[in-house]
Amino acid sequence: MRHFKHVFRSMRFHIIILYTLLILGAITVLSSVSYRMSYSMAKRQKMEEIGLLTSQIADSLNVYFEDAVNAMNFFRSDITLREDIRECNRKSQAERYEHVRKIQGKMKQAILNDNDIHNIIIISDNFQFNCQDSGIGNVNYGSDLIREIVSRCDEMKKYNMEFLSAKNKDYVYGGSGKEEMLVCFPIKDADGSKTLATMIYVLNFDRIDKICKRQQLWEQYGCYLIDGKGKLFYAPSSTFPCPDYDWSPESATNEIDNMMLLSFAKIEANNWKVAYQIDLSEIKKQLETIRHFTVITSIIAISLVIFISVYIGGKCTRSVRTLSDSMKKFGEGEFYIQVDENSGYEEIDILNKNFNHMAQQIENLINEVYAIRVSKQQAELEALQSKINPHFLNNTLQSITSLAILGRNQEIIFAIDSLRGMFDYILYEMSDMVPVSKELEYIERYIEIQNIRFNHGIEWKRDIPELVLSYRVPKLILQPVVENSIRHGLKEKKGAKKLLIQGEVIEGRICFTITDNGVGIGAQRLGQLEEMLAEGQETPGHIGLTNVHSRLKLNYDSGSGIRIRSLEGRYCSVRLCMGLE
């Protein structure tokens, strides 16, 4: 408690707080103003962008509608079509067949010429006859929609045309609720005084959908199509965010409820409106970069202020604090630490020199103790290795003696040649650490000798990547394990005798696994072996394992050594792990 009271009353603490509050306040005000200005500028830019985009969509739709209109203009100026309609109006249903066939042929040709036009209907002014293409269902000529269209077309001038939005079921028996764009116009006589018939056809909705969707610039967007009555015709979803919006101007771009931007423009071909809407969250999302930059700048600025404040407020006590920190680290085990002896203050320099002298003396003592410990470990390692080599030679000579008794001279020559190679490795390979490839050559010669003893009954293979072969391991580290596998596992095995040597590098260690399909080790005996290995005791009948485990423990860290897995009567697997060289 006294320590905190002292800190709070210090000039250094007050300077740090003062500078931090000043800079923090300035950054807060600057960030707020900067964010608002950036938001306002980004919003104006988006308004310009969606205004331009809406005009482009309106122009594209206008071209599409005009092309669809022009494709059907020949119906209004076709003299033979008008004559056929007149004849159909005068004649009975049985007599008008030929004229109807001609009209249907022209309808079919129009659909073939333009894939965006389908479902063509022609209705006479007094409903005496009607004609439709084969792609339409059963048209309800008595529906309110059809009668309204015929009535409105009768009042139109010769070259007028109207676009309507309607559901398929409004004029087709059993139709769907799909929204369609209908185009209707009157077919007048030559002087335009009398309406002979009304033509209705449907524009391809897929083209309209593609035109609207290909202009997508943002994830949260909406492109809408509003008909001449202000009714929503097309939308990316079933709802429209502004159902009561005023569509009377020809074009506008506005902000709505501080949540979205809405722009609309007039389509000249049919006096419809196309609207484009984006959520303001898109703009806010783009401003996240500015927000993150501001936060990072604030952190850097505050850190700089604190650093300067600490420097100004703590200049007089820094040297003492440095020495105090060094002593603390020294007490935690960092014995090699040194402090600057030129602090600028004579009293502090004396303390620093005495501390450095003490640290150097302790470092020298630690190095002496470490050198003694390393020498002791090296002596123990050499003693362990000297116990292994006679063990190899004894077993090998026993095998050659058995061959001589049996008179197998060629195999004796082969065994002696293999033994010579083993002696070359043992006597003339002076390094204690050898490449894995050389250790495996030695193992191969050893197994060749043992295979003579077992009438070539040992089937063995190795699974070691090329990368592992170049690493260095302690000399004669694998042979004792292989010898134990043959001697205690495969010797009493009936049937096929198999031995597998695997190697891998995992988590900064090189590991070898020697597995045989021999008689295995019982659970009780396996527990005894593991306990003896852990305590460094001699394992009767398994001298090689104890030696190898001890060598690994002395050469590497505590995580190195031997692990044994076995199932009696099935297999035995010995895994050696050591550090990389």
Half-sphere exposure of 310 (CA within 13 A, CB side): 8
Q: Check if the beta carbon of residue 282 is closer than 8 Å to that of residue 219.
A: yes
In the chain, % of residues over pLDDT 90: 11
**Domain check: are 410 and 434 in the same one?**
yes
Per-residue CA distances from 534 to 86, 340, 537 (Å):
113, 47, 8
Number of Cβ atoms within 10 Å of the Cβ of 277: 23
Average of per-residue pLDDT across 35-63: 79
Q: Using pLDDT thresholds of 50, 70 and 90, give the confidence band for residue 384.
A: very low
Q: Are 132 and 120 in contact (CB under 8 A)?
A: yes
Q: What is the DSSP letter of 487?
A: I
Residue 540 confidence (pLDDT)? 66
Same domain, 180 and 36: yes
| Local structure of 10: helix, strand or coil | coil
- Highest-pLDDT range among 162-171, 257-266, 516-525: 516-525
Assess whether 437 and 364 both reside in one domain.
no
**What is the model's pLDDT at position 154?**
82
What's the pTM? 0.41
Q: What is the number of alpha carbons within 13 Å of residue 207 lying toward its C-beta?
A: 17
Same domain, 74 and 44: yes
Residue 443 confidence (pLDDT):
92
Distance CA 4, CA 348 (A): 25
- Please tell me the least confidently modeled range out of 135-149, 153-167, 178-192, 390-404: 390-404
Total number of domains in the chain: 3
Is the per-residue pLDDT at 370 higher than 80? Answer: no
Helices (H), 261-345: 281-286, 288-313, 318-331
CA gap 500, 515 in Å, rounded: 5
The answer to whether position 375 is within a domain reads yes
Task: Point out the least confidently predicted range of 145-159, 354-368, 485-499.
Answer: 354-368
The strand pair at 433-435 and 472-474 is best described as: antiparallel
pLDDT one-digit tens code per residue, 469-512: 999 998 888 988 998 898 888 988 888 999 999 999 998 899 99
End-to-end C-alpha distance for the chain, whole angstroms: 53
Which residue range forms the structural domain that includes residue 255? 32-301
Q: Residue 134: what pLDDT?
A: 66
In this structure, the answer to whether residues 524 and 409 fall within a common structural domain is: yes
162 and 59 in a single domain? The answer is yes
Q: Are residues 347 and 290 in the same domain?
A: no
Which one has a higher pLDDT value, 36 or 485? 485
Question: Could you tell me if residue 320 is inside a domain?
Answer: no
Q: Mean per-residue pLDDT for 435-450?
A: 90
3 state SS for 42-62: HHHHHHHHHHHHHHHHHHHHH
Q: Two tokens at 382? A: 């050499």
HSE at residue 129, side-chain half, CA atoms within 13 A, is 21
124 and 246 share one domain: yes
Of 301, 324, 359, the domain-final residue: 301
Residues constituting the chain: 581
Same domain, 371 and 420: no
How does residue 416 score in pLDDT terms, banded at 50, 70 and 90? confident
357 and 397 fall within a common domain: no
Query: Do residue 201 and residue 173 come from a single domain?
Result: yes
Query: What's the number of CA atoms in the CB half-sphere (13 Å) around residue 292?
Result: 6
Confirm whether 123 is domain-assigned. yes
**Considering 360, 384, 408, which residue would you say is the last residue of a domain?**
384
Q: Give the pLDDT of residue 515.
A: 96
Cα–Cα separations (whole angstroms), residue 4 to 319, 327, 372 = 21, 22, 47
